[in-house]
Structure 1
Amino acid sequence: MTRFGQVFSDTIEEMTEEMTGPPAGLAGVAMARGRRLRQRRRLAAGGGALLVCAVLALPWLVLSPAADEPQPGSPAGVTETGPPSDTGLAGGWVIVGNGSRVLDRSTGKLVAMTGSILPAPAGGRVLIEEPGGGLRITDVNGSQPVAVDPTDLGGAYQWSPTGERLVGRISQKEPFRIGFAVIDARTGAVTKRWIDHSAYGCSRCSFSWTRDGREIVMAVADRSGGEAAELVSRLQLFDAATGAPTRSLAVTAMPSGPFSWSPDGRYVIADVDVLVGRWQIVELATGQARPFPYDAVWATGDRLLATADGELLTLSPDGAVLSTVRINPSGVRDVITVGPPA
Structure 2
Amino acid sequence: MTGPVEDALRVAVHDLADGVRPAPDLAVRALGRGRRLRRRRRAVAAGAALVAVVAVALPFVLLRPQPAPHPARPAPTATATPAPPARPMPGPDWSTKPLVLPGDWVVTAGTFAGGAGKGFVLDRARGRYLTAEGYDGVFPAPVGALSAVTDKDRPREVALVDLARGTTRWYEVGRALSAPEWSPDGRRLLLTTHRLDHFGFIIMAADGTKRTFRVDEKRYFCTDYCDFTWSRDGTEVVLPQTGQSSSDESVLRDLRAGVRLFSADDGRPSRFVPVPGDPAGPWAWSPDGKLVVVQGQHDPLLVETGTGRVVRTLPTADVVWVSDDRLLYRRPYGARDVVLADLTGRELVRQPLPKELVEREITVAPR
TM score, norm. by length of structure 2: 0.65
Aligned ranges for residues 19-58 of structure 1 at < 5 Å?
none
Q: In structure 1, how many angstroms separate the alpha carbons of the residues matched to 2:167 and 2:357? A: 37
Identity of aligned pairs, percent? 27
Structure 1 outlier segments of 4+, above 4 Å: 2-5, 59-64
Deviations 1:105-159 (A, max 9, x none): 2222321111222222222211111223232111135634332213234213211
Change in CA separation of 1:96 and 1:60 when aligned onto 2, cut-off 3 Å: farther
Aligned ranges for residues 253-264 of structure 1 at < 5 Å?
253-264=277-288
Deviations 1:211-248 (A, max 9, x none): 11000001012352133422322100000011000000
Deviations 1:151-177 (A, max 9, x none): 23421321111111111111332xx32
Stretches of structure 2 that go unaligned for 5 or more consecutive residues are: 1-55, 60-87, 112-118
Kept in 2, the 8 Å contact 1:79–1:110? The answer is yes
Deviations 1:31-54 (A, max 9, x none): xxxxxxxxxxxxxxxxxxxxxxxx
Does residue 1:149 correspond to 2:172, yes or no?
yes
Name 1:218's counterpart in structure 2: 239
Among 339, 363, 367, the alignment partner of 1:313 is: 339
Kept in 2, the 8 Å contact 1:267–1:283? The answer is yes
Kept in 1, the 8 Å contact 2:283–2:320? The answer is yes
Does residue 1:335 correspond to 2:348, yes or no?
no
Aligned ranges for residues 187-336 of structure 1 at < 5 Å?
187-203=207-223, 204-222=225-243, 223-226=245-248, 227-231=250-254, 232-273=256-297, 278-289=299-310, 290-294=312-316, 295-309=318-332, 310-329=336-355, 332-336=358-362
Change in CA separation of 1:205 and 1:93 when aligned onto 2, cut-off 3 Å: same
Give the AA of the match of 1:248. Answer: F
Deviations 1:240-296 (A, max 9, x none): 0110000000101111111111111111111114xx7x2111111121112122322
Deviates more, 1:256-265 or 1:219-228: 219-228
Question: Could you say which structure has the larger radius of gyration?
Answer: 2
How many angstroms does 1:61 deviate by? 9.5
- The structure, 1 or 2, with the larger RCO (C-alpha pairs under 8 Å, 6+ apart) is 2
How many angstroms does 1:97 deviate by? 3.2
Give the AA of the match of 1:279. Answer: P
Q: In structure 2, how many angstroms separate the alpha carbons of the residues matched to 1:187 and 1:60? A: 39
Aligned ranges for residues 158-173 of structure 1 at < 5 Å?
158-173=181-196
Among 98, 102, 108, the alignment partner of 1:89 is: 102
Kept in 2, the 8 Å contact 1:299–1:305? The answer is yes
Stretches of structure 1 that go unaligned for 5 or more consecutive residues are: 6-58, 65-77
Equivalent pairs, count: 265
Task: Kindly report the root-mean-square deviation, in angstroms, between the aligned alpha carbons of the 2 structures.
Answer: 3.0
Give the AA of the match of 2:271. Answer: R
| Secondary structure of 1:298's aligned partner | strand
Q: In structure 1, how many angstroms separate the alpha carbons of the residues matched to 2:351 and 2:240? A: 33
Kept in 2, the 8 Å contact 1:156–1:207? The answer is no
Kept in 2, the 8 Å contact 1:261–1:268? The answer is yes
How many angstroms does 1:102 deviate by? 1.2
Q: In structure 2, how many angstroms separate the alpha carbons of the residues matched to 1:146 and 1:269? A: 35
